[in-house]
Structure 1
Amino acid sequence: MDGACNMDWAWKLDSCKQAVCLLQVGGNTKTGTGFVVRNDATAALVTARHVLEGSMTAGEGGVDGEVTGHVTAIVQGREEVDLIGARVLLVPAEEGDGANEPPDVAVVFLPAERRFPAQPVPCELTPACADDVSDDGLFTLLHHPSGAADLVVEARGQLVRGESSAAAAAMPWIVRYQGATAAGSSGGMLLDSKCHAFAVHVSAHKSGKNKCAVRLSVVHERLGDASPWREMKPVVHQKRRSFKLPDKPKHFVGRVEAMKLLSDNVEAGGMTVVASTGLPGVGKSMLVTKWAHLQCESGAYSLIVWLRAEHVGHVEADLVELGTELHVLHTRPDGRSMAERAQAVTAFLGRLPGRGTLLVFDNAESFHDLKRFIPWGGCHRCVFTARDASKFPDAAALPLNPFTPGESMLLLGLVSRRDVRRWDGSRVDVDIELDAAIDLCAEVGHLPLAVHVLAAYAKRSGAGFSDVLKSVRGNAPSARALNVPDLPDYARRESVVGALLTACGELDAANYRTLERLAMLAPDKAPRDLVLGDGAETDRLWDLAIVTYPGPGLLSIHRLVQAVALAQMATDVRQRVADGLVNKLLAMTAGFSKNNCATWTSWQAVAPHTEALLVQPGIETCVGGADNLEDNGRWTLMDGLRNYYTCTSALHAALDIAKALHAEVHSSLGSEHTSTADSQQDIANVLEDLGEYNEALTLCRVVERKRVVALGEDHPSVLTTQHNIAFMLSKLGKYDEALTLYREVARKRVDALGEDHPNVLTTQHNIAGVLSDLGEYNEALTLHRVVERKRVVALGEDHPSVLDTQSSIAGVLNDLGKYSEALTLYRVVERKRVVALGEDHPSVFTTQHNIAFMLSKLGKYDEALTLYRVVERKVVVALGEDHPSVLDTQHNIAGILEDLGEYNEALTLYRVVERKSVVALGEDHPSVLTMQHNIAGVLRHLGEYNEALTMYREVARKSVVALGEDHPSVLDTQHNIAVVLEHYGEYNEALTLYRVVERKRVVALGENHPSVLTAQHSIAGVLQHLGESTRR
């Protein structure tokens, strides 16, 4: 092989300056023009000789790009398959097809489970003879899942190499490749677990005998200069090393001991907190950034992840973005909460093979809030930058102080481009300018941020250090008058603030207005479109080290600089800036729709900045006398943020925003205004989503009263509130009251809207649900089928509302004992919901919960238990350990354990669920009574009959009050009371109670219901006992 040719090809790739480009190429593997595929972190261009050079670029990690079209490959034994998510690795072919053309690029695809890469395994390659390849040039690479077999060449379906031909015959990792060029050249490569590259090339050359020649080459990075591919590492080695790691500090000085101590602590302890002495601007993030880059360059970790940790929501958002890039998560929102999606990424990082993951939590507040984002197991390490090390008790502390005088002078010289490096630490024989530089660093207490800003100011303004020092000292009176909360007790406070005032004084009007906008937002990653005015640029802010560019179209600013800028802004200036930012944020999120998850991303970049803006003090909340939510831009923005958080299941954040909005509206418009009622309804809706039904009901009743007074009894808003009240009543087990109110709402809605209106169908759907709760199963089923038919006509058979109704129908079928029919329908609903919403949507979890319940009814306990545990884990992450949905799942898990005979374990779990349910719902709630009924059942199985009987009778008494004496749940409890009486030999009393239960069950459920048959079986057993007693 001609090494020069490969060197030339490598040079052509490396000469490109862009790291990423947009690629638009063909999607057919047989055209010979190349195609695009995507791996775990980037997209890669796979080429043959005809691809234009201009269509591709190369970065440090390989040939990168963005997939723009559908990409498929022919996989042996299957149809075309999508290659999105496949591992794609490139290597140059052994020889080109023309003297003036670059060589072909060979490729191997390893399809990956669950959209992330398969773990690479070590392998060896050996040459094969020409007879090992068929005449048509096709060949197959086999990757043994266990790693025990070699990479082999298969010809005509026969295994030529490898120790385990039988095991390898039906591999999941078999891919067929066809020649990509007219000459039939093709090939591939694979990385082993240590990232050593193995290349395979097959070149089919026609000869007189029409035979194909096989040439196999092994590329190993340890071959060094002997390797013909020694210059091809940017192409061969395509592996993500870091995520959101800030750029390497341009001016990093000193900190030698701190860097060593950081390395030692991380290696020894796993978790390290880099804490300052309480000062901002001491360089915590810069130190860790520099250290993380060294780790990245050395390959110490498989992946380095940088997370913004000043707020839990930012950590979640960054992890979700990482998960999307790694294909652990879908690119579109899938209905899961941000917390759950982040937790899924954390779990993936915990399983990531190789050298482990380094996570950096920047500007962290507390370990307690972040511990759930730490991957456990493996070689994973965590570093936190924080001001208070005491909040990280399990992490090794690395206190960070301001610079030494020598470090300050070194930084001052590097940034200002002035020659101060000749200073030897003494004042002997120093000139005036050097003396001023020494005093300038001491004036600001050697605080790195202040030294950096003053050096940048000196460079841009051309002022000497004497003049800079004079300016800093001259700003002392202004600095003294400013309230900068981040520096309350710092001895050099006036000098540090004076230094920042000096730099800000160099800004023109346009840049200063940009600084004012940045000061009112979150410090990290503000979109340029949000903070820049027309025609404005940020070069001067950059030159003065006031802002940094963390990514394309983004600006970041230090918190201390923000604090100084805010302290200078008068109230009217803050109001003007806030109003302008509100208008821009409204424009940037105008396309948001709760019903279209594709629009939710409009909030993703601006949500933290909106939150920061909303909590700025001294801002008028009711602008221009607006008396409703729609006419007040600030309130509209808050409502939009609440909707976004609700859609992404960030429910606690949504509740905080809803309460803040209500406080502002109430303060401005009074307690009886309709807008105040609207804001209270929003709070109630979030409380409902959180399962806080009593609190939500109380608030809904307040809203109802206000709306009736203001709008009249039949207004649509009043009916909506009453509908919500009925829903809350049903959740609290007050079924008769809920049914009465639902029917009243339905009647009024039919009169106003017609009987086929979606709002009417929603109410009727809920009426059917309450009928089912009351044991009126046939009536409920009839009404559900009517609603289903009308919804299919109006919305289509796959609409979410139709699936909701079908799920409810399956539930009633279960109540009627038609378990197989119910299971079939639930699985149809699950399949459609996965297609429409994604496999991790909460509605899918609910359906899977119901499927597990059906499996348990059919006696498939192990399968049911496995599915329940999957659902439990996901719902806990999304809603918290004490949410009613979590308790429902855990209650059913306890039921499966009981069915499996694990009585003690079941009893423990039942009692945990009971205790939490009493706190959430009250001790007389039907769900609590059901749990107590089941606890009594386990006690009976354990032989504790007296305790079981006492509990059964107490449950029966409360259930009659809550549900009525003929409710199926009451009858279940009475049946079990009879069982205990039978155990004690009280046959006549047991028989009387069994017959009462049988008669009522026949009326409620029909004579063929399984519960009726159970009662009849019990009656027969007692009669047998009584007969035997009579004979004796």
Structure 2
Amino acid sequence: MRHHDDPPAVWGSVPPRNLNFTGRRELLEQLGERLTRGGTTAVLPAALHGMGGVGKTQMATEYIYRHSQDYDVIWWIEAARPTQIRASLTELARRLGLPGAAESNTAVPAVREALRLGRPFRRWLLVFDAAESPEEVLPFIPTSGPGEVLITSCNPGWTGAATSVELGVFERDESIELLGKRGPDINVDDANRLAEKLGDLPLAVEQAATWRAMTGMPVAEYLRLFDESVAEILDTSAPPAYEVSVAAAWNVSFDELKTRNPAAHQILHICAFFSPEPIPRDLFTGVSRGVSISPELDAALRDPIKLAKAIRDINRYGLAKIDHANNTIQLHRLVQLVLRKRVMAPQLQAQMRHAAHQLLTSLDPNDPESARHWPRYRELLPHAYAADIVDCGNDRVRQFAINLMRYLFAWGDHEEAARFAEYALEKFERQLGPTDPHTLDVAQRLGLYLWGLGRYEEAARTNQLTLHRRIQVSGEDSEETRTLQTNILIDLRAKGDFAQGLRLSEEIYHKTKRLFGEDDPETLQAAYQHALSLRLSGEYQAAADLDENTLRRRIEVLGPDHPTTLSTNAALVVDRREAGEYMRARIDQERVTEIYRTRFGEDQADTVVMWFLLSVARRKDGDHRSALELSTAALSRFAAAYGADHPTTTACALAHSIDLRHSGDLAAAKAIGEKTLETYRRSLGEQHPHTIAATVDLAITLRLRGQAADARVLDERALELLRINVGRNHPYAVIAAINLASDLAAVGDVEPAAALGQDTVERAERVLGPNHPTTLAAAINLGLDLRAAGRTDEAKSYSAPILDKYRKVLGEAHPATIAAVKDTRADCDIDPLLM
């Protein structure tokens, strides 16, 4: 049992308590009442909103320290940008030990669900500080649950989305109380005059109190300096009154610091261009010799003693908050605003912003795909945004910007990676031109990011344009051109043009092999991509042969546990499964899945893909019950992590609908099958082979539900489209023809069923081989149709001989063998292939 002073079990990023917090008693009580009004049945966010400098963050912080014993989890979230919210919730997922905590796109939904359920903790408080708008923040808030949410914002628009507490300036007695706390002694009349001059704005009052505590300056002298600063500000612009109060109060201290410690003075200039959230102190330590800002600051950045003195002076004058526990510096956002707008001339602004760019870049680990560096990139990202590093003219800074978008994509924040890449591309094209190496690098990455988001048409346009420009710059055979051609290959798959994709992947593979040799990692990756093209084109055995060769070489070159080696191993298993080696594929998939589970963890995304592939392998090998269990779990995980429209989620949903049909739950199979088909239509289009495959699978369910006529309509259209788009000899077309023959038989068109079946058997033998389970299904169905048509003698060759093959290929106990023995028609599924 927790004692009164024990901290919560999970405590994250809460600012240090302000020991001079003053007043706000009634508002704190009101805030507590509104937070708890919903009991334990729903989250009712309470928003603190008001103009800058009124103490919203301070009040939220004070509430936390007064009520920390009421919660098991208190988590503070810097909410100015969605990517910062995702980063904070990802860290919370890790602290809670939730599955999928390694990547943003899986961690965030896992956190929301855990909080909604109240597991592992029921008493929780989330604080979204400095939230910009409800539209950006509400998607991250649990939709219900036993905890509470507190939001601070300058945006009054929260009043429609949350119960709100409006925070204004201090009451006069609160201003006087704060001025009297810090010393030296001040009489009520002087305190009243000073509070009046400061507009009772808490941030300005706090600054004045700190200055007086530091210097002992008489109030009259302080007011004279304050008025001089106000006159200077009003001489250059007409800012809002609250900006004047903060700027003037701050300038009094800031001007003194310039004389006392120029290095500290310049550190504050630079901090004005960072994010308002805590700035890591090590941004100013260990700076490389290549970074030069000014003589005074350069000396401090390279001398720990001088740097420590500068930071102490900043703290003494109350010009920034120093958090020694977390080793950070923080400026209030309003102070940053007035420093940039009211204090710095344009030339100085440019110099200090570039200094911020240099300091940020000096901490770039330059390895954004490595998970061990993600905490550093996560720490730098908000400050890089605030400093607008994309606008810098330095090539090292531009590369840092590219590394940040690479980190975002690798970490799992794909939407933010694409948004950042779009912004950078626009800037680079304008500053550098469309064929500059940095511009082309960003454009290439943007094409990949857009494809990953399912924005296929935009991706294709971006990739085609970038390829044209890249060839102009680097030529046909450059490594950069080949990488872009791989993007084009991916676009062709998204478009459903498997034949053209096969031709392009073959070209890339042979070109790479000629340039680098068979064992080069680039060649092996090109081989992997070509095998995928072969698989999508229905050439399963050729894909297996190439993947087997690539696997052997990757083991020799990269080792058996390298991620690309493992992905080739997994691909080979799928090749063999589609080639009809069901038992072997299941055994191999069990082994590969265990390797992924052991190496990457139970809930890592690639491991869940292996569970999904294992569900298909088990179903193909006849274990329908286990397949359903696996696809149920995998679909739930994918839908939560990536959303219903993600390509992997959709493929898993299609497989799950097949599993439901095999379990006898035709209603559920139909519902999911229809939903999946619609998703494919929306994302890939009516004529994409994956969409048509979903149509064929749904038609089987309809026929088994007694809707044979509806199934026939779907299958006729599917077969027509497949013959046009992938050809008559593609396995998908063969399977569609098998199922259409079953539809015809079901509605009494026996002779047309037999005729179609005859052609399909012959075609399946040529395409898949005489012993492939699909060929056997076509043959067993043809025998049934011939018998129904009275062609008994012809039917005999498709009875006992085919049953013998079923027993040899699938085994006596396989459900398909048992069904064939009972003269039950075979239904042929099209299992989704990942692109």
TM-score for the superposition, normalised by structure 1: 0.70
Alignment-mate amino acid for residue 894 of structure 1? S
Matched residue, 2:685: 922
Quick check: 1:524 aligned with 2:277?
yes
Matches within 5 A, 1:130-145: none
From the two aligned structures, give the one with the greater strand fraction.
1
Matched residue, 1:154: none
Matched residue, 1:649: 412
- Checking the alignment, whether the CA contact within 8 Å between 2:134 and 2:158 is kept in structure 1 is yes
Matched residue, 1:504: 254
Matches within 5 A, 1:991-1010: 991-1010=754-773
CA distance in 2, matches of 1:869, 1:510: 61
Alpha-carbon displacement from aligned partner over 1:823-870 (angstroms, at most 9, x marks no partner):
222222222223333333322122111112223334444433343343
Alpha-carbon displacement from aligned partner over 1:245-298 (angstroms, at most 9, x marks no partner):
222221122211111111111121342423333x111111111211111111xx
1:305 deviates by 2.1
Matches within 5 A, 1:51-70: none
- Checking the alignment, whether the CA contact within 8 Å between 1:817 and 1:1009 is kept in structure 2 is yes
Matched residue, 2:628: 865
CA distance in 1, matches of 2:622, 2:602: 26
1:878 deviates by 4.1
SS at match of 2:790: helix
Matched residue, 1:341: 107
CA distance in 2, matches of 1:739, 1:241: 52
- Checking the alignment, whether the CA contact within 8 Å between 2:129 and 2:151 is kept in structure 1 is yes
- Checking the alignment, whether the CA contact within 8 Å between 2:374 and 2:407 is kept in structure 1 is yes
1:554 deviates by 0.6
Quick check: 1:827 aligned with 2:590?
yes
CA distance in 2, matches of 1:658, 1:984: 55
SS at match of 1:507: helix
Quick check: 1:285 aligned with 2:69?
no
CA distance in 1, matches of 2:159, 2:82: 15
Matched residue, 2:602: 839
Alpha-carbon displacement from aligned partner over 1:740-761 (angstroms, at most 9, x marks no partner):
1122222222221112222112
- Checking the alignment, whether the CA contact within 8 Å between 1:978 and 1:994 is kept in structure 2 is yes
Matched residue, 2:214: 460
1:335 deviates by 8.8
Quick check: 1:577 aligned with 2:343?
no
Pair 1:865–1:737, CA change in 2 (3 A)? same
Matched residue, 2:810: none
From the two aligned structures, give the one with the greater helix fraction.
2
Pair 1:483–1:907, CA change in 2 (3 A)? farther
CA distance in 2, matches of 1:370, 1:961: 47
Alpha-carbon displacement from aligned partner over 1:876-909 (angstroms, at most 9, x marks no partner):
4543432222221222222223333333333333
Alpha-carbon displacement from aligned partner over 1:794-832 (angstroms, at most 9, x marks no partner):
111222112111111110121123223212222222222
The one of 89, 93, 97 equivalent to 1:319 is 89
Quick check: 1:448 aligned with 2:214?
no
Matches within 5 A, 1:409-808: 409-420=176-187, 434-481=188-235, 490-508=240-258, 509-531=262-284, 533-534=300-301, 535-536=306-307, 537-550=310-323, 551-567=325-341, 568-594=343-369, 596-614=370-388, 621-623=392-394, 632-808=395-571
CA distance in 1, matches of 2:208, 2:529: 67
CA distance in 1, matches of 2:629, 2:197: 66
Pair 1:326–1:979, CA change in 2 (3 A)? closer
CA distance in 1, matches of 2:719, 2:140: 45
Alpha-carbon displacement from aligned partner over 1:649-675 (angstroms, at most 9, x marks no partner):
111111122222222221123234454
1:930 deviates by 1.3
Alignment-mate amino acid for residue 222 of structure 2? V
SS at match of 1:305: strand
CA distance in 2, matches of 1:915, 1:814: 27
Matched residue, 2:76: 306
Alpha-carbon displacement from aligned partner over 1:928-976 (angstroms, at most 9, x marks no partner):
1112222323332333333322221111111111100111111111112
- Checking the alignment, whether the CA contact within 8 Å between 2:440 and 2:470 is kept in structure 1 is yes
- Checking the alignment, whether the CA contact within 8 Å between 1:273 and 1:383 is kept in structure 2 is yes
Alignment-mate amino acid for residue 944 of structure 1? Q
- Checking the alignment, whether the CA contact within 8 Å between 1:887 and 1:913 is kept in structure 2 is yes
1:873 deviates by 3.8
SS at match of 1:836: helix
Matches within 5 A, 1:976-991: 976-991=739-754
CA distance in 2, matches of 1:710, 1:256: 67
- Which deviates more, 920-929 or 878-887? 878-887
Matched residue, 1:275: 48
SS at match of 2:37: helix
Pair 1:784–1:452, CA change in 2 (3 A)? same
1:475 deviates by 1.9
Matched residue, 1:248: 17
1:790 deviates by 1.1
CA distance in 2, matches of 1:483, 1:655: 38
1:916 deviates by 2.8
Quick check: 1:363 aligned with 2:130?
yes
SS at match of 1:727: helix
CA distance in 2, matches of 1:875, 1:570: 52
1:548 deviates by 1.2
- Which deviates more, 514-523 or 762-771? 762-771
Alignment-mate amino acid for residue 986 of structure 1? D
CA distance in 2, matches of 1:899, 1:436: 85
SS at match of 2:234: helix
Alpha-carbon displacement from aligned partner over 1:176-203 (angstroms, at most 9, x marks no partner):
xxxxxxxxxxxxxxxxxx45xxxxxxxx
Q: Alignment length, in residue pairs?
A: 763
SS at match of 2:18: coil
Greater radius of gyration (CA)? 1
Matched residue, 1:229: none
CA distance in 1, matches of 2:7, 2:441: 54
CA distance in 2, matches of 1:673, 1:308: 36
Query: Once the two structures are aligned, what percentage of the paired residues are identical?
Result: 24
SS at match of 1:359: strand
CA distance in 2, matches of 1:860, 1:893: 14
- Checking the alignment, whether the CA contact within 8 Å between 2:96 and 2:120 is kept in structure 1 is no
Pair 1:579–1:377, CA change in 2 (3 A)? closer
- Checking the alignment, whether the CA contact within 8 Å between 1:300 and 1:355 is kept in structure 2 is no
SS at match of 1:606: helix
Matched residue, 2:730: 967
The gaps in structure 1 that reach 5 residues or longer are: 1-193, 196-220, 222-232, 421-433, 624-631
Alignment-mate amino acid for residue 104 of structure 2? M
SS at match of 1:242: strand
SS at match of 2:257: coil
CA distance in 1, matches of 2:512, 2:444: 20
Alignment-mate amino acid for residue 450 of structure 1? A
Quick check: 1:257 aligned with 2:26?
yes
Pair 1:524–1:1011, CA change in 2 (3 A)? same
1:446 deviates by 1.0
Pair 1:636–1:241, CA change in 2 (3 A)? closer
SS at match of 2:697: helix
Matched residue, 1:90: none
Alignment-mate amino acid for residue 1003 of structure 1? R
- Which deviates more, 869-878 or 306-315? 869-878
